[in-house]
């Protein structure tokens, strides 16, 4: 029989999945830079990063997998699933590593930028595999690096402030 702590943890993680789904879905309607397809704020990554900080990489992995899979069921194509999953997994691995081994060197904002950069890098690798060429991905990559820095700063700022607020509430 599951313990009360396990039920409470699963319930919280389910709420995080729901929040990430809502943010991810809503983000599709925000025209950031129409001239540059694929550039998004990465609002759902705020939830993944908060779960990584508050719980564990395993719980963040669960939230990421559930969000990408469910969102793909409801609104995306197979290729979108590949882009989202590869970017999310690479980002999570990089942020987990950075948080564990570079947490004294980088702030949460810096770790968020690392995650955004690795997210875009993974997506470019998937694009190169789909196209069977690195020409287009490499020509688009500088734009994605710049967007990763900017969106990583934004999401990192939100995560840092949200985490600080949650710590004050005793939730972290």
pLDDT in tens, 107-117: 999 999 999 99
Among left, alpha and beta (phi > 0; psi -120 to 50; other), residue 55 is alpha
pLDDT in tens, 14-40: 999 999 999 988 887 877 666 666 678
> What does pTM read for this prediction?
0.89
At residue 122, the pLDDT reads: 94
Q: What is d(CA 48, CA 118) in angstroms, rounded to the nearest whole number?
A: 14
Domain ranges of the chain: 4-169
At residue 114, the pLDDT reads: 97
At residue 138, the pLDDT reads: 79
Low-confidence stretches of the chain (pLDDT < 70) are 1, 32-38, 76, 171-172
In CATH, the number for domain 4-169 is: 1.10.1760.20
At residue 50, the pLDDT reads: 96
At residue 150, the pLDDT reads: 93
């Amino acid at each position: 029989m599951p313990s009360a702590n396990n039920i409470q943890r699963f319930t919280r993680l389910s709420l995080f999945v729901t929040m990430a789904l809502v943010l991810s879905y809503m983000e599709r309607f925000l025209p950031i830079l129409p001239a540059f397809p694929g550039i998004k704020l990465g609002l759902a990554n705020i939830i993944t990063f908060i779960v990584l900080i508050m719980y564990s990489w395993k719980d963040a992995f669960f939230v990421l997998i559930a969000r990408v899979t469910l969102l793909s069921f409801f609104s995306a194509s197979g290729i979108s699933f590949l882009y989202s999953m590869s970017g999310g997994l690479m980002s999570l691995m990089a942020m987990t590593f950075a948080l564990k081994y570079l947490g004294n060197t980088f702030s949460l904002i810096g770790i968020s930028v690392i995650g955004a950069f690795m997210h875009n890098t993974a997506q470019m690798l998937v694009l190169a595999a789909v196209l069977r060429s690195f020409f287009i991905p490499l020509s688009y990559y500088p734009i994605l690096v710049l967007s990763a820095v900017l969106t990583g700063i934004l999401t990192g700022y939100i995560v840092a402030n949200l985490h600080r607020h949650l710590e004050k509430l005793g939730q972290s």
